[in-house]
């Protein structure tokens, strides 16, 4: 049984960041679980937005939207951090090997629900208990609250340059 009712997508509405996978996931979940779907961002896949979703376009203060949703679907490094600080369950997808590494090499990837297909993510979500969700969000939050800009820069260097300074 799903442990949430409101899902927010944050990011570009493009295939390379998995917006199409997010839309497919929401369509798979909406009838059975009555999931409410909100979207902030813009991009070429804007025509894929379901009629039942609330679309806000690009916004200047995403925190308002994050706070009123249960789950954040994103593939952005900094948005992972923002969602973790807000104690939200994070979903991230990947459609190619580079994005897969980007998502799975993130320090809190083990506390996120990840996958390359909507059906895979759906199955993972359905297998989570409330205790699992609470533990994932707690661990992601505990990691996030220890972060500084200096640590973040070092993590980016490790991911993109193998730990070597440019």
For residue range 23-36, list pLDDT tens digits in order.
999 999 988 898 99
- In the block, residue with structure tokens 């948005």: 79
Q: Which residues neighbour 40 within 8 Å (Cβ) at sequence distance 6 or greater?
A: 8, 9, 10, 56, 57, 58, 59, 62, 65
The predicted model gives 131-159 an average pLDDT of 90
CATH of the domain at 124: 3.40.50.2000
Residue 155 belongs to a domain: yes
Regarding beta strands 71-73 and 54-55, do their DSSP bridges make them parallel or antiparallel, or are they unpaired?
unpaired
| Percent with pLDDT over 90 in the chain | 76
Domain membership of residue 19 as a residue range:
6-161
pLDDT, tens digit (0-9, with 9 covering 90-100), for 152-164:
788 778 877 875 5
Instruction: Give the HSE-up count for residue 68: Cα atoms under 13 Å, Cβ half-sphere.
Output: 9
pLDDT at 139: 98
pLDDT, tens digit (0-9, with 9 covering 90-100), for 86-133:
999 999 999 899 999 989 988 899 999 999 999 999 999 999 999 999
Residue 69 belongs to a domain: yes
Residue 80 belongs to a domain: yes
Q: Is the pLDDT of residue 140 over 90?
A: yes
Residue 73 belongs to a domain: yes
pLDDT at 165: 53
Domain count, the chain: 1
CA distance 40 to 6: 14
Residue 62 belongs to a domain: yes
CA distance 30 to 35: 5
**8 A C-beta contact, residue 107 and residue 43:** no
Residue 94 belongs to a domain: yes
Residue 1 belongs to a domain: no
- Which of 47, 34, 160 is CA-nearest to residue 101? 160
Residue 166 belongs to a domain: no
CA distance 112 to 36: 20
CB atoms < 10 A from the CB of 137, how many?
A: 21
pLDDT at 166: 52
Q: What is the pTM of this model?
A: 0.90
pLDDT at 149: 85
CB atoms < 10 A from the CB of 129, how many?
A: 10
The predicted model gives 74-83 an average pLDDT of 92
């Amino acid at each position: 049984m799903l442990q949430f009712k409101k899902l927010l997508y944050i990011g570009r509405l493009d295939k390379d960041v998995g917006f199409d996978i997010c839309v497919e996931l929401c369509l798979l979940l909406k009838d059975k679980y009555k999931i409410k779907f909100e979207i902030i961002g813009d991009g070429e896949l804007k025509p894929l937005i379901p009629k039942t979703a609330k679309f806000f376009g690009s916004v200047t203060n995403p925190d308002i939207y994050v706070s009123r949703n249960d789950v954040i679907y994103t593939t952005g490094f900094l948005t992972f951090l923002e969602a973790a600080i807000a104690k939200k369950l994070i979903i991230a997808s990947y459609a190619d090997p580079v994005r897969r590494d980007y998502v799975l090499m993130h320090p809190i990837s083990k506390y996120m629900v990840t996958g390359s297909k909507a059906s895979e993510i759906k199955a993972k979500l359905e297998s989570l208990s409330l205790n699992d969700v609470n533990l994932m969000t707690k661990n992601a939050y505990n990691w996030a609250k220890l972060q500084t800009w200096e640590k973040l820069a070092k993590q980016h260097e490790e991911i993109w340059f193998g730990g070597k300074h440019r």
